[in-house]
Chains A and B, each alone.
Chain A
């Protein structure tokens, strides 16, 4: 059996993506109605949170982040200090990458008597996102998977294994999640396919683009409106000389208003010689990035940094954003991004300083040996001042 066939075995019939998105949107609107009718009703607020999170992740609707923020404010007015509100506020803050706020809310929720398992679940996500206590988080993630076997717990473990450089284990966990999936919602399947695409296309030291493309494509087939998957798929198409295919992949996602779509499309069009249209998409991307950074700085700082060090053409803005992101979540990836951008911006002193800090924070982690700090020095003979 070819690898492609083996991979195909692990995906199966799910609800049509268009139907699922329509249903999500309809359920989302209804959940807001129910929340306004009776905000204290058990589950009413939690359902709104869940629907908006799904919408932000899968429906290509970045306005969901604004709604989440507004929702947090309304909840704060209705029931400011209950542990239930604190738990929801923590999840909203985490979704918007306001991790210190999230920790504060979790501490309050815990004091207010929120179930410790619920607090722990969100705290693990925050720690993982910030690269904090990863060994303990990994132990806990493994324990949870062994106990619950739940799909979302497996995916979280897979993501963490990928973060710490255990790529084959991450791959196996993701596939296991797919094999054991027992639902028909396309969202979780698309999510794992996307994670597998990221794993093989971006996280491993030597990307396997064909393998990554396979998974991104599956994510897009299952969920055509999955903007992030389209963007990554288009990047691979573009990198492998298929500009037309990249363009065709991106155009349906333009309506989402996601600046990454406009940015990548601008790059593709520029390479094809459509300079005028490329420039207008690039301007749209810049303007949208700034709008999002203005509203949700921490959630988009790393994306903005990538944009400005690339076609956005503003290395100092890129470095500024990368440093904001690094301060917010000092993960190895954030260090690598800041280091690379600092070098790209000609800020060698800053790059060296970042390298020293990265070595101090991450030098003992196995993943550090696979990072650009070490690999870069092997390749170039220069490398970081570690």
Chain B
């Protein structure tokens, strides 16, 4: 995941954990630039920003200081810093949820107080800056099983949400691209110092991110056996100024990791010298964007890739909401753009939007339906009846047809009232008397997973039927009632059989 949960320390407070940094031209107004940082991977629908953290996006001017095997990007002071901190919750009326406010501080010193979760965001009086902070659908796509080599998979972040901080600003006024239009961007989370607080040490940096996946895929490549986890050490480095004492360590780890990535398709596409320059480029971790050139869904890393290939870059690089950054990155580090590597999907849970705040609205919580019943028969006896994926034991089912065998087989169910439901077998354990299946069609749901299990209960058995799903096209209560009724009627019918 793009720095999602990228170090053991984030377990402390997941709200400090940066998942992604985005930089792109405003879809609403090409004269404006948007920067966004997401925190709190896989947060639930009630998640709130930490009030103990300063969230910053820092921009510095950058220049190409060398190309080809001398590739080097240099950054310069002064920094252009956007900072955002949040307050403790405010009590609303008794029947209202508490609200959270935050304060943005902009590079020109202006500050702006805003309400978290307000879809319209807030703007400074001069219109130069506009901000939003709140929960959004995670735009990230990770459709590979990274530790397994090059195994495609569904998007592992499907239906996830994150907390997003979005700032849009007047490019000309804030960045003055006439002095140079190439910029380096990072995001960081730092505890807020308080008088009398943090005695004995400076506020540590909790997390920071430049390009995606510097930690989870590159520095912590899971296929480098025996390698220490150095992600926390990396996260505590100062962006734009990696400690020279640790630089050799990071550089060697990056080389080892990139060499392993290069060979994942069985072909060596990187010469040792090219790989070394690539590693050095990645250790200088910042997201590059050229605000004078187009930033598109495919322009991510193009500045770095072209420069290492000895060519002038053509795009604005950056990273849009819909960038399929993992596929772009893997194509580059596995085969140096010889052949595009496409994961199991190229679509996030929801695409970005063309209107502010550009990240899609959050995903709903999965709904759960659980029904259980105790029967007097032994578990094996009960499982014999209901444990076959294609067995028709349910009074509301007229007919079941199976397609295929084993895992992945489909059952087409005709209900007594003429509806058709198609389900796929995902896992079965006859010894454990359990199977899991997903819904393909026939119910107004998305992301439906059902589970049927039988366990011993005294001299008899306990049968549990459980499902989780997102309502899709019908009211939640209606869908839950349909599923619950289906389960209840089925389980109740077992009483008369045993």
Contact = CB atoms under 8 A, between A and B. Distances in A.
Interface stretch (B26-34, B42-50, B167-175, B252-260): B42-50
A182 interface: yes
A183 B13 contact: yes
Contacts of A182: 9, 201, 204
A284 to B, nearest CB: 25
B88 A184 contact: no
Interface residues of B, number: 56
A39 B51 CA distance: 33
B51 A185 contact: no
Contact of B44 (A9, A19, A29): A29
Contact of B46 (A14, A26, A36, A188): A26
A169 interface: no
Contacts of A8: 196
B365 interface: yes
Interface string A183-201: 1110110000000000000
A10 B201 CA distance: 11
Contacts of A347: none
Interface string A126-139: 00000000000000
Interface string A160-200: 00000000000000000001001111011000000000000
A23 interface: yes
B365 A33 contact: yes
A312 B53 CA distance: 46
Interface string A10-33: 111111101110110111111101
A16 B52 contact: yes
A14 B44 CA distance: 21
A14 B455 CA distance: 44
Contacts of A188: 12
Contact of B191 (A18, A26, A42, A184): A184
A364 interface: no
Interface string B12-23: 111110000000
Interface centre among B16, B50, B193, B453, by most chain A C-beta atoms within 10 angstroms, is B50
B65 interface: no
Given A23-B14, A183-B9, A15 B198 contact: no
B43 A37 contact: no
Tell me the interface secondary structure of chain A in the complex.
helix
Contacts of A16: 50-52, 88-89
A142 interface: no
B44 A30 contact: yes
A77 interface: yes
A19 B88 CA distance: 7
A22 B46 contact: yes
Contacts of B199: 9-10, 12, 179
Interface string B365-394: 110100000000000000000000000000
Contacts of A31: 42
A16 B97 CA distance: 16
A12 B12 contact: no
A26 B50 contact: no
A359 to B, nearest CB: 43
A275 interface: no
A277 interface: no
B472 to A, nearest CB: 16
Contacts of B434: 77-78
Contacts of B47: 22-23, 26-27
Interface in B195-222: 196-201, 204, 206
B455 A184 contact: no
Interface in A253-279: none
A15 B51 contact: yes
A184 B43 contact: no
Contacts of B432: 76-78, 80
A81 to B, nearest CB: 9
B64 interface: no
B88 A50 contact: no
A202 interface: no
A26 B42 CA distance: 10
A36 B451 contact: yes
28 contacts: A9-B199, A12-B199, A13-B193, A15-B52, A16-B50, A19-B48, A19-B49, A19-B88, A23-B43, A23-B48, A23-B50, A26-B43, A26-B44, A26-B45, A27-B42, A27-B43, A27-B44, A28-B44, A34-B42, A39-B436, A76-B432, A77-B429, A80-B432, A182-B204, A183-B206, A185-B13, A187-B12, A188-B12
Interface of B: 9, 11-16, 40, 42-53, 88-89, 98, 100, 147, 156, 159, 191-194, 196-201, 204, 206, 365-366, 368, 427, 429, 431-434, 436, 447, 449, 451, 453, 455, 466, 468
